[in-house]
Amino acid sequence: MGKPVELDVGLVVAGHGRHYIVETPEGRRLTCHPRGKKSECVVGDRVRWQAAQSNTGDEGVIEALEPRRNLLYRQDEWKTKSFAANLDQILVLVASEPVFSESQLSRSLIAAEHAGIPATVVFNKTDLPQAAQARERLAPYRAMGYEVLEVALKARPDEARTLLAPRLQGRTSFVLGPSGTGKSTLINLMVPQAQAQVGEISQALNSGRHTTTTTQWYWLDDSRESALIDSPGFQEFGLRQIDAAQLPAYMPDLREHVAGCRFYNCTHLHEPGCGVRAAVQAGQITESRYRIYTEIHEELSRQRW
């Protein structure tokens, strides 16, 4: 293997199994596989690669992974996996209908806080009658300092594009949201050639219908300075890398009251003189947020990865 300085640099824009689409600085895309058996690359990674010498059908071999600025994890039934790297921001899409899960929203924001990635909540379908109730449920998140952008992607697309475009400029943004919230509408609104890009990558990876289960990178501009990353469905964010005792540090409303606890190692579950529980009783932390904290704390205490 040559020295890293002799290898070409590339950006991972999609992957399926052990095959990845790597984009060169000039914009050329090629199919690569990692050397060795382990496959640690994710969309957003910068890698060092060289031309393939064997008849594997791939054009290149990934030899080295460049240092990451940050990394997101997802959790399935069996294990925690990394799935996106080097992000500038996360857009968490919720809607008036279907009713969003506050637990999913909280887990996403905790994952973002832990990874050090700024997160913004995008509140869609504000034209529907249910918007008032959803807006009320989002009020505590505004109070914590999270920006909540209100849009109606289908009813008022031009207004939504005008609001979102400046916030996406020059950044790599990860978009997530459960089915039915308008994620595909958002992608297609901001990336008119989205379907064409999906088709090209599907053909390159020979993955056909399976491409819909992979994380996808979209360029928003010809200069390739702004990008959206879409991952199908609403990923169950992996939080097992977080120590249970550190959980309040990633929940702004709880974090604000930790200093008021009598004991330095307070779990905020049963100890006397707990500043967090006092804040719940005073209405400064909502009951639902505290319930989410206790659920996640129990999960993290029960199993370590």
Binding residues: 124-127, 177-185, 261, 266, 268, 274
CA atoms within 13 A on the CB side of 300: 21
Cα-only R_g, the chain: 21
Pairing of strands 71-75, 80-85: antiparallel
Binding residues for Zn(2+): 261, 266, 268, 274
Binding residues for GTP: 124-127, 177-185
Burial-class residue 29 by CB neighbours within 10 Å (0-12, 13-18, 19+).
middle
> What backbone phi and psi angles, to 5 degrees, belong to 3?
-70, 150
Residue type, 271: E
Per the CB < 8 A criterion, the answer to whether 20 and 31 are in contact is yes
Distance of CA 15 to the CA centre of its chain: 16
Q: 136 CB contacts (<8 Å, ≥6 apart)?
A: none
